[in-house]
Structure 1
């Protein structure tokens, strides 16, 4: 979920990727980030993530041409990327997801900003988020999550709880795979430091996926997470949506939120 003090309200027509405007520095930034992070992710990221890289056609050699990525995603799951200039408000964000559109930016950080960036750029949006949109169960989870959020979009407390679920799955989720814990969340995937911390730190709790527990757990934006939640598979995410819907509805009816 994206938010900002002055969030952007999207236009009726998508913006365009002006590929010819990318300078040599932009291509070097993409290459450096891609090569470095792929080495970090080699034994740490989910198999589905690497499969998604192949489906999308990503490589270190060139900044992705989003028109081509859209064709690849359309063939896999029907999702499309929708270019926006920056962070957007909750309602348009969930409306995008419900239409199977994922909002992305096309600007890239500078060489000086390789290690840290205040606001997500194209590397986070595209390298981090887009590969898993090619996974059928994960992408349907995203669409279903958006449908539930739109039902409660006028209830700020409900949306705050939804943001926790989005944060601990889409952004910072872990998955059990072949007896090992792997990364799938985009916030970890696009961060070299947190990729290592989330998998290898012996003290950080890694908690089995449970919606009620997640809704009760605050998250941290400006530091590594103090705990992570681990799914068994992507089907589990999709199949948990009715429980989420029921729990939120019950909390609203009993005025707990």
Structure 2
């Protein structure tokens, strides 16, 4: 059954501006003020630096043209207003043009903790700070270009890798494990859980393993993939990804919730 959004994006005026209500600005402020304190020792340094560079407002929803201007000066990216739901093709086509799609609605207060559709807080607060990092920004653009070069039959696997990196990726640095995925960093429940909880598994990033791993969008993740450098992602798009996909199909899909096979050398579990 096709999912139907309960939200409708605002149509920007000719200058790209949206007239948000006082209530919508209040929801942004609530989300912002409760998310900022939990980022310490959980968000990666690049994300924190990106927040500083974007100068996101704490008490009002930022306008897309102002974020686009700052992003474009740093990495050549812009933010593109879109409907609440867009097709996978439109999504990747925009990314390939260094345009990050952002629906212009914000969740209602009743869905403050979780909203199934990505809203403007998720897009601007969760994703845009990382797009100020040149290596990461180039990866997102180049990965989208590679996706568009594949048959759409392969897209479900390619979307999995996007999910486990851009949405729910972790990185291990000198300070420990930190989050860089936008789905984590815009979620009050997922931010601490992803980095500190004993419940999920944290697996050293392997693209074939990521291709083989199913996920759920309506619950906290059961597995996270951990990189040690953003160069790992950038290098991925220079390799023959078709061979990686073929290998994943040959090995087959993992059952849900990623049961650990101790005899599989491609799976390395990390401690917190």
The TM-score with structure 2 as length reference comes to: 0.83
- 1:80 maps to 78
Correspondence for 2:100 among 102, 105, 110: 102
| CA deviation string 1:67-104 (max 9, x = no partner) | 11111111100001110121211111111011101100
Give 3-state SS (helix, strand or coil) of 1:230's partner.
strand
Correspondence for 1:195 among 191, 195, 206: 191
- Which blocks of at least 5 consecutive residues in structure 2 are unaligned? 6-10, 254-272
Within 2, Cα distance between the matches of 1:242 and 1:5? 35
- 2:69 maps to 71
| CA deviation string 1:229-256 (max 9, x = no partner) | 00112111101223362425756999x9
The higher relative CO (CA closer than 8 Å, separation ≥ 6) is in: 1
Say whether 1:155 aligns with 2:147. no
Report the aligned-residue RMSD.
2.3
Count of matched residue positions in the alignment of Structure 1 and Structure 2:
244
Say whether 1:166 aligns with 2:166. no
Matches within 5 A, 1:1-257: 5=3, 16=13, 17-19=16-18, 21-152=19-150, 154-156=151-153, 158-243=154-239, 245-248=241-244, 250=246
Comparing both structures, which one devotes a greater share of its residues to helix?
Answer: 1
Change (3 A) 1:35 1:240: same
8 Å CA contact retained: 2:78, 2:100: yes
Within 2, Cα distance between the matches of 1:169 and 1:196? 17
Within 2, Cα distance between the matches of 1:249 and 1:175? 23
Within 1, Cα distance between the matches of 2:152 and 2:215? 19
Give 3-state SS (helix, strand or coil) of 2:238's partner.
helix
| CA deviation string 1:136-168 (max 9, x = no partner) | 11111111111111111x332x10110110000
Change (3 A) 1:180 1:249: closer
